[in-house]
Amino acid sequence: MPLRASQIKSPEYVGREVTIRGWVYRLRKQKENAFVIVRDDRGGVVQCIFSADKVAGLTIESSIEVTGVVIQDARAPEGGYEIKGKSIKVYNIAGIDYPIGEYQSDELLLDKRHLALRTRKMVAMAKIRATVLDLSRRWFVENGWMEVTAPTIVKGAVEGGSTLFKLKYFDEEAYLSQSAQLYLEAMIFALGPVWSLTPSFRAEKSRTVRHLAEFSHLEAEAPWVMLEDILLVQEQLVSHVIQSAIKERAEELAYLKRDTADLKKVEPPFERLPYDKAIEMLRSKGFAITEEDGSKREIRVGDDLNIDSERELTKDASKPIFVIGYPIAVKPFYVKEDPDHRGVGQAADMLAPAGFGEITSGGLREDDIVSMTERIKKEGLDPAAYDWYLDLRKYGSVPHGGFGLGIERLMRWITNADDIKDTVLFPRTMSRVTP
Ligand code: 4AD
Ligand code: MG
């Protein structure tokens, strides 16, 4: 049975004959000997030593099977173990023009992502991501939430009409889903607290380090909750995922040079910062926003927060901050208005520390059919597309709420990635739909 390179690096294999499979990661030929670093199919690597004649014609990324004896040598790269090769079986000799070397531009790495995902950086990212998803799923299951799947082909906008991807659906027009929220809202009447992980699509026309056109959306919704209940769920979930991920993926985070000292501090409670106070803080620092025509003015109550104001609010924080009570005018039609404060929405965003910005949005949902219909119209949406959704307010409406978390936003913070594109294997942006 072939083993993985990472498996044989243990005293129990020293002196034993093993077989490993993988790809030529590095190749150094001397007069008599050749040093082949083999990468296995989980990113583990080990050096194999052969007499030079045995590896004639071998190229980088050729797929091979090596049989040899494990030896321990403190000088061996990659952890002090290596394989003294006896035989080598070649599956495929890779073309000599393999485009990924030690140094190349970010653009080339994106163009060749189908190959670049063999790099150790991408393998580390993929492993952390798998762990984050696994931990999230287990947290929901252990806390009594039921996993559901919502459709991704839909008729209505959730997060505004401007970022909708239109599609021809047989003889009608439909859209790619921006959020599963409305469907989760329907499900809570039958299933109680539910959660889902689905792709969400946004035709984001801006190029930023935190926007993708397709992202993994973790969403949750529950009946009979208050805003504080929704915040508690989020801070517990995020803290749990981070604390466990930094333990389970310490090696990968170290490879990515992520110092986890500040992540260790991520424990409930997170600060609750009222929106008005956030604006006041920004004003006291003279924070300006740029209008559509390019002119600048001081931020004021009523303005939405953006990447720059979020950075300003969180740059010195070591834990996430909830900004609560946004004006309903800057939030979608479904946000519930605070009955005690007109114009204020019972909505909250979680902002990650150190400038990473918004990673979740959530809150309570409008449960009154009249206000809801008005708000849909006000947003310029067609109430007819929401008739089924309005039924939820007609037949047994209950106070309820939930939130959505962008997995790649969370990943960018956990891994300290410069760009959100680094956190996903095949990123989709305004300018990239291949590979
Ligand atoms: O803030 P958003 O738009 O809120 C919603 O979609 C709600 N309906 C969710 C809900 O309550 N069920 O999106 C939620 C989160 C954001 O906080 C962000 O983390 C992520 O999804 N997100 C994106 N991530 C990457 N690229 C984009 N273009 C994103 N847009 C939103
Ligand atoms: Mg949001």
- 275-296: pLDDT as tens digits: 999 999 999 999 999 888 989 9
Three-state DSSP state, 329:
helix
Q: Tell me the Cα Rg of the chain.
A: 26
Give the model's pLDDT for residue 25: 96
pLDDT of residue 101: 87
202, 430 in Cβ contact below 8 A? Answer: no
Interatomic CA distance for residues 361 and 350, integer angstroms:
7
| pLDDT attached to residue 226 | 97
Q: What pLDDT band is residue 103 in, cutting at 50, 70 and 90?
A: confident
Ligand 1 atom 4 nearest Cα:
361
Residue nearest to atom 7 of ligand 1 (CA): 404
Q: What is the pLDDT of residue 168?
A: 97
* Ligand 1 atom nearest to 215, measured from its CA: 25
Number of H helices, E strands in the chain: 11, 18
Q: What is the pLDDT of residues 340-389, one digit of tens each?
A: 999 999 999 999 999 999 999 999 999 999 999 999 999 998 888 899 99
Q: Work out which ligand 1 atom sits closest to the CA atom of 212.
A: 26
Residue 134 in tokens = 């696994």
Q: Which pLDDT value is given to residue 292? A: 84
**Per the omega criterion (within 30 degrees of 0), is the bond before 383 cis?**
no
The whole-number average pLDDT for the span 147-164 is 93
- Closest C-alpha residue for ligand 1 atom 24: 406
Say if residue 207's pLDDT is above 90.
Answer: no
pLDDT in tens, 111-132: 999 999 999 999 999 999 999 9
What percent of the chain has pLDDT above 90?
Answer: 92
Given a cut of 90, is residue 224 above it in pLDDT?
yes
From the candidate CATH numbers 3.30.930.10, 3.40.50.620, 3.40.30.10, 3.20.20.60, the one assigned to the domain spanning 113-423 = 3.30.930.10
323 φ, ψ (degrees, to nearest 5)? -95, 125
When pLDDT is averaged across residues 251-274 and rounded to a whole number, the result is: 97
Tokens of 182: 């409305």
Centre of ligand 1 from the C-alpha of residue 303, in Å: 19
Q: Is the pLDDT assigned to residue 258 strictly greater than 90?
A: yes
The pLDDT assigned to 376 comes to: 93
Hey, which of 215, 326, 350 would you mutate to test ligand 1's pocket, going by the most ligand atoms within 8 Å of its Cβ? 215
Nearest-CA residue for ligand 1 atom 17 is: 360
Q: Whose CA is nearest to atom 3 of ligand 1?
A: 159
Q: Which of 148, 187, 361 for mutating ligand 1's site (highest number of atoms within 8 Å of CB)? A: 361
Length of the chain: 435
Residue of minimum CA distance from atom 28 in ligand 1: 211
Average pLDDT over residues 328-337: 96
pLDDT value, residue 372: 93
CA count, 13 A, side-chain hemisphere, 380: 4
As for ligand 1, residues whose beta carbon falls within 6 Å of it are 158-159, 178-179, 181, 202, 204, 211-212, 215, 217, 219, 358-362, 402-406, 408-409
Amino acid 196 reads S
Give the distance (Å) from ligand 2 centre to CA of residue 347: 10
Ligand 1 mean position, distance from CA 433 (Å): 20
- Statement: residue 78 has pLDDT above 90: no
Query: Could you tell me the pLDDT band of residue 206, with boundaries at 50, 70 and 90?
Result: confident
| Per-residue pLDDT at 210 exceeds 90 | yes
How much is the pLDDT for 223?
98
Shortest-distance ligand to the CA of residue 403: 1
Tokens of 229: 């209940």
pTM of the entire structure?
0.96
Which H helix or E strand runs over 195?
A: strand 194-201
Terminal C-alpha separation, the chain: 34
- At 157 the pLDDT is 87
Instruction: Name the closest-CA residue to atom 1, ligand 1.
Output: 361
| Residue pair 181/158 in contact by the 8 Å Cβ criterion | yes
Q: What is the pLDDT of residues 20-77, one digit of tens each?
A: 999 999 999 999 999 999 999 999 999 999 999 999 999 999 999 999 999 999 888 8
Task: Tell which atom from ligand 1 comes closest to the C-alpha of 217.
Answer: 21
Is residue 332 within 8 Å of residue 158, measured between CB atoms?
yes
Given 3.30.950.10, 2.40.50.140, 3.60.15.10, 3.30.420.10, which CATH number is that of 5-92?
A: 2.40.50.140
Tell me the domain boundaries of the chain: 5-92, 113-423
Q: What is the mean pLDDT of residues 95-117?
A: 94
Which residue's C-alpha comes closest to atom 29 of ligand 1? 211
> Which of 164, 165, 217 for a ligand 1 pocket mutation test, highest count of atoms within 8 Å of Cβ?
217
Name the residue with the closest Cα to ligand 1, atom 21.
Answer: 406
Site to probe by mutation for ligand 1, drawn from 152, 177, 179, 206 as the one with most ligand atoms within 8 Å of Cβ, is 179
